[in-house]
């Protein structure tokens, strides 16, 4: 072999150098120690999850040390006998060389040596030695708290590559720039996941526009990212953590019962799990790989887990105080991040850049200034009109970096005609609701009337995300909500996304100044929030579009006026003993039957039974029961059976039917569960 031919290792080094990006902070600390900087620490401990680039960084350290003329000793925990003698043998006699650089990789494989390493081995190394230990597990806090190690020990937690470094990595691998965003979204900047994704994307460039790892890639990646899990329960806890935005012990308890404390404690010490004020969450590549694996491997199990989590977070949205409603709604919405356009129009990552606050009078000038900038003077005049009448409807969004109010929104509750001659948008919504299902007593409609963030006007952003979450919480929490409307500039940019949520466009496009606005409506009587989320879940799990809401589809809930409702109750009583005829009664598609646990005949029986709890109710109950539930052939026969004059019997019967209608109408409006409603739940 001639002297200039080199060896294969040279080509490996060149390739690794070309692929190495980022880690400038860690390199700077190492180079300072290598140069003998008195302020630099001679002992470095690096920790991070699998695939984060620990081994690649140690190889770079080794090269830098050799360039500096240092003796380099490399120990790999995977090949070491995990005893003091085995570790010392692997390090060899060269570790006593003055100025030696000792690099220990995969230390988690011999973590049991940690105490011996810090107490016995490292203190005996020669002065001027430089040591880097890398492993998945964080260092025992007693060493960082030990006064003797202060100033000698540098602990670094390796994170995913920054977006700019990850993009540079993909570029060096020859990945087309048109798929960088997709690959970065899946990998989150994890170097190992990036390398695998880059190889697959380059191999199959024709299909990379919608790139996702196939199951072979996920099967290869997951063990490298998470290692072995102790049991199927631990794996299940990981899968819950992957599907949830953040995981609390309360969530685990709701889904996994008494195992929750143990599993939460295990999760929080895993190297690929991060901790936030709200709970735990996995690194992006771990999250996406676990989710993809479960959906492919056990679609029924994934659907069951999603259903449990949907019900849990839905109950949270309903139960939490106002101060926590956005956080709870964001967690619920996150369960659908993989469906349709959800991730394009909801920004979970940047939510911390803004703070949602109630409007105060001293915000007025700023709100109107923002309205002028985004929508013009005419729109600002309408904002002023509603600020004067409904200040409680407005929210402002303040930058957490500068403290400046940069956006505002308004959620208008409309119970009766108001401002119709002033605000053409509200007037259009009122006309649409009246034509398609008018309000009944105790009901209201609502509009997300203003969604104003001039810097990124009606583009996906953190303030727009908060505005959507607040509207979603209203869909879920509000009593008596009929129609809701999202009001957007009529440029088509939100059409597909809102249709995917069953917020359907109204025909009318009202104008304010130089701009036209589109109204996207949903009738929550016809498809309440629970059913809406169930349909959204079904669409996500099947990959099919969300079907039209029942308000525009055959077979949905009916919305009856009070006279129509009373007529349906009377007809149902008359046909109670004719099941085929009763099945056609519109009350079968009313909320009191569809949302409840009772059939229409059982609903009528419960209402009749409730008469007994009221003053003079026994007389009404006897008349109704004899006529409809005991099958008297005629009203005259019923009166005779009761031993009453016919006029007295008719008075009791009419009063009983009217009172039953009152009771059932109350339930229809309030949506309470008739099967579990006691006497105190009925109207006076």
Among residues 247, 171, 186, 240, the alpha carbon closest in space to that of 218 is found at 186
Checking 601-608 for CB contacts under 8 A at 24+ apart, the result is 601/576, 603/664, 603/674, 604/569, 604/572, 604/573, 604/576, 604/628, 604/660, 605/629, 606/674, 606/675, 607/660, 607/663, 607/664, 607/674, 608/656, 608/660
Superfamily name and number for 8-157:
P-loop containing nucleotide triphosphate hydrolases (3.40.50.300)
Tokens linked to 40: 């630099």
CATH no., domain 351-552: 3.40.630.30
Report the side by side order of strands in the sheet with 101-105: 72-76, 101-105, 130-135, 43-47, 153-157
Which pLDDT belongs to residue 41? 92
The three-point CA angle 271-259-253 to 5° equals 95
Q: Tell me the C-alpha to C-alpha distance, in Å, between residue 59 and each of 6, 13, 20, 62, 134.
A: 19, 9, 10, 5, 12
Alpha helices in 406-521 (DSSP H): 424-436, 462-477, 495-500
Which pLDDT belongs to residue 672? 65
The Cα–Cα gap between 473 and 322 comes to: 10
Asked whether 286 and 272 are in contact (CB, 8 A), the reply is yes
Which pLDDT belongs to residue 529? 92
Assign 52 to helix, strand or coil.
coil
Assign 586 to helix, strand or coil.
helix
Per residue in 239-258, pLDDT (tens digit) is 999 999 999 999 999 999 99
What are 153's strand-pairing partners?
A: 43
Per residue in 500-517, pLDDT (tens digit) is 899 999 999 999 999 999
Beta strands in 56-113 (DSSP E): 72-76, 101-105
Assign 481 to helix, strand or coil.
strand
Length, in residues, of the chain: 684
Chunk the chain into consecutive blocks of 10 residues (it has 684) and report each block's average pLDDT, rounded to whole numbers: 50 55 88 90 90 89 93 92 93 93 93 91 92 91 86 88 84 79 78 77 57 73 85 96 95 96 94 86 88 92 96 96 94 91 86 92 97 97 97 96 96 94 96 84 93 94 95 94 95 91 93 95 90 92 77 55 88 91 88 81 92 88 92 89 93 94 85 57 50
The Cα–Cα gap between 654 and 657 comes to: 5
Residue 228 makes CB contacts below 8 A (sequence gap 6+) with: none
Query: Phi/psi at 662 (nearest 5 deg)?
Result: -60, -45
Assign 39 to helix, strand or coil.
coil
- Only one residue has tokens 């590559």, namely 161
Among residues 238, 245, 305, the alpha carbon closest in space to that of 272 is found at 238
Per residue in 385-407, pLDDT (tens digit) is 999 999 999 999 999 989 999 99
First to last CA, the chain: 103
Q: In angstroms, how far is CA 419 from the centroid of its own chain?
A: 36
Name the strand (E) or helix (H) holding 487.
Answer: strand 481-489
Q: Tell me the C-alpha to C-alpha distance, in Å, between residue 507 and each of 211, 377, 430, 517, 633.
A: 37, 26, 13, 11, 52
The Cα–Cα gap between 536 and 338 comes to: 11
The Cα–Cα gap between 419 and 439 comes to: 17
The Cα–Cα gap between 397 and 347 comes to: 15
Tokens linked to 223: 């063990």
Asked whether 317 and 473 are in contact (CB, 8 A), the reply is yes
Which pLDDT belongs to residue 487? 97
Strand 101-105 and strand 72-76: the pairing is parallel
Model pTM greater than 0.85? no
Assign 446 to helix, strand or coil.
strand
Report DSSP state, residue 107: G
The Cα–Cα gap between 648 and 531 comes to: 46
The Cα–Cα gap between 58 and 55 comes to: 5
Query: In a 10 Å sphere around its CB, with 0-12 CB exposed, 13-18 middle and 19+ buried, how is residue 534 labelled?
Result: middle
- Only one residue has tokens 């079904």, namely 538
């Amino acid at each position: 072999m001639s002297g200039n031919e080199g060896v294969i290792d040279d080509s490996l080094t060149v390739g690794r150098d070309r692929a190495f990006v980022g880690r400038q902070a860690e390199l700077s600390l190492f180079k300072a120690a290598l140069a003998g900087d008195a302020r630099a620490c001679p002992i470095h401990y690096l920790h991070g999850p699998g695939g984060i680039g620990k081994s690649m960084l140690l190889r770079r350290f080794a090269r830098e040390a050799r360039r500096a003329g240092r003796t380099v000793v490399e120990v790999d925990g995977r090949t070491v006998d995990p005893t003091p003698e085995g570790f010392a043998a692997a390090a060899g006699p060269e570790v006593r060389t003055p100025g030696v650089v000792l690099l220990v990789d995969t230390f988690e494989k011999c973590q049991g040596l940690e105490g011996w390493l810090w107490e016995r081995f490292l203190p005996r190394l020669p002065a001027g030695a430089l040591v880097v230990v890398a492993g998945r597990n964080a260092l025992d806090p007693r060493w960082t708290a030990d006064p003797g190690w202060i100033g000698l020990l540098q602990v670094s937690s390796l994170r995913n590559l920054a977006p700019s470094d990850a993009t540079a990595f993909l570029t060096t691998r020859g990945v087309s720039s048109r798929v960088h965003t997709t690959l970065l979204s899946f990998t989150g900047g994890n170097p190992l996941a990036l390398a695998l994704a880059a190889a697959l994307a380059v191999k199959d460039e024709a299909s990379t526009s919608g790139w996702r790892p196939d199951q072979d890639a996920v099967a290869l990646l997951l063990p490298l990212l998470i290692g072995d899990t102790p049991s199927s329960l631990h794996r299940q806890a990981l899968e819950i953590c992957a599907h949830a935005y953040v995981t609390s012990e309360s969530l685990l308890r709701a889904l996994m019962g008494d195992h929750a404390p143990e599993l939460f404690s295990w999760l929080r010490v895993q190297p690929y799990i991060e901790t936030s004020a709200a709970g735990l969450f996995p690194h992006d590549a771990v999250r996406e790989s676990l989710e993809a694996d479960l959906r492919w491997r056990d679609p029924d199990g994934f659907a069951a887990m999603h259903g449990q989590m949907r019900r849990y977070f839905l109950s949270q949205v309903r139960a939490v105080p106002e101060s926590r409603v956005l956080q709870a709604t964001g967690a619920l919405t996150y369960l659908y991040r993989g469906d349709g356009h959800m991730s394009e129009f909801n920004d979970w990552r940047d939510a911390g850049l803004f703070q949602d606050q109630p409007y105060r009078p001293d915000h007025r000038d700023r709100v109107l200034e923002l309205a002028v900038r985004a929508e013009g003077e005419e729109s600002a005049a309408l904002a002023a009109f509603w600020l004067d009448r409904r200040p409680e409807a407005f929210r402002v969004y303040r930058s957490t970096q500068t403290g400046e109010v940069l956006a505002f929104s308004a959620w208008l509750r409309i119970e009766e005609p108001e401002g119709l001659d002033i605000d053409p948008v509200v007037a259009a919504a009122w006309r649409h609701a009246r034509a398609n299902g008018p309000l009944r007593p105790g009901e209201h409609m609502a509009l997300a009337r203003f969604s104003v963030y001039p810097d990124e006007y009606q583009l996906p952003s953190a303030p727009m995300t908060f505005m959507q979450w607040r509207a979603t919480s209203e869909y879920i929490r509000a009593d008596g909500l009929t129609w809701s409307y999202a009001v957007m500039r009529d440029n088509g940019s939100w059409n597909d996304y809102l249709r995917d949520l069953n917020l359907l466009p109204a025909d009318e496009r009202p104008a304010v100044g130089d701009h036209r606005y589109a109204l996207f409506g949903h009738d929550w009587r016809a498809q309440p929030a629970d059913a809406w989320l169930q349909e959204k879940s079904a669409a996500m799990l099947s990959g099919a579009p969300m079907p039209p809401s029942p308000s525009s589809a055959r077979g949905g809930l009916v919305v009856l006026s009070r006279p129509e409702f009373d007529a349906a109750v009377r007809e149902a009583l008359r046909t109670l003993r004719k099941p085929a005829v009763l099945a056609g009664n519109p009350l079968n598609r009313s909320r009191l039957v569809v949302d409840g646990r009772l059939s229409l005949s059982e609903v009528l029986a419960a209402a009749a039974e409730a008469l007994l709890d009221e003053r003079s109710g026994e007389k009404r109950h006897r008349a109704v029961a004899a006529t409809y539930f005991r099958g008297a052939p005629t009203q005259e026969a019923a009166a005779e059976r009761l031993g009453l004059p016919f006029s007295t019997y008719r008075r009791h019967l009419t009063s009983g039917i009217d009172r039953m209608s009152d009771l059932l109408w109350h339930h229809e409006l309030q949506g309470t569960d008739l099967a579990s409603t006691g006497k105190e739940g009925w109207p006076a």
